[in-house]
Amino acid sequence: MPIKLNLRLAFDDIRDMLGVKYEYPKYVSPLINLANQLAGATRPRVVGQMSELIKECPYKSFEGWKRWYLERYPKSIEEATNKIMNMLKNFKEALEKIDEKTVRKWVEDLVLVKTFVGLMVQEPILAFISKKLGENYRLATPEEEAYWRIQRIY
């Protein structure tokens, strides 16, 4: 009888093995991540093309990688940090301007305006393009919409 193994190796388990686990207060990591995305702080022009750099690195240990990377990009961590901090400063200023009226207006805009424009206008656009291409069209199913919504997030 075959042995059934229920193995699970989480990213945090790997961090623990490397001894590089960082802890953040609740909501901090997602906010830093959003600030990073908006600031472009860890794009290749700032920190290098990671997928290529990791291949070039002659070391297979985390400490070797860290030392090798920081020798080649000594200012990248500081530059990225500064970009994110500037964006977080912008967040703080924006948060001070948000009240219930502003949130309600944003929700109405999303639920009413953007939904109407996005969903009511899509069919005439699809019909126009499909006619030009001589192709048939169909609207996406809820499952297809959910799939593409998830793809945009990640």
pLDDT, tens digit (0-9, with 9 covering 90-100), for 7-60: 888 888 888 888 888 889 999 999 999 999 999 999 999 999 999 999 999 999
Whole-prediction pTM? 0.71
Burial class of residue 134 in the structure, from the number of CB atoms within 10 Å of its CB (0-12 exposed, 13-18 middle, 19+ buried)? exposed
pLDDT of residue 66 exceeding 90, the answer is yes
Cα diameter, the chain? 65
User: In whole angstroms, what is the distance from residue 30 CA to residue 62 CA?
Assistant: 24
The answer for residues whose C-beta is within 8 angstroms of residue 137's C-beta and 6 or more apart is: 126, 127, 129, 130
Structure confidence at residue 154 as a pLDDT band (50, 70, 90): very low
pLDDT of residue 151: 63
Contact (Cβ atoms closer than 8 angstroms) between residue 40 and residue 87:
no
- In this predicted structure, the answer to whether residue 6 has a pLDDT above a threshold of 70 is yes
Phi/psi of residue 43, nearest 5 degrees: -75, 160
d(CA 81, CA 148): 31
Q: What is the pLDDT of residues 78-137, one digit of tens each?
A: 999 999 999 999 999 999 999 999 999 999 999 999 988 877 788 888 889 999 999 998
**Pairwise CA distance, residues 73 & 75, whole Å:** 6
- Extract the tokens encoding 140: 């996406």
Q: What is the mean pLDDT of residues 60-80?
A: 97
Residues in the chain: 154
The predicted structure's pLDDT at residue 79: 98
d(C-alpha 63, C-alpha 70), whole Å: 11
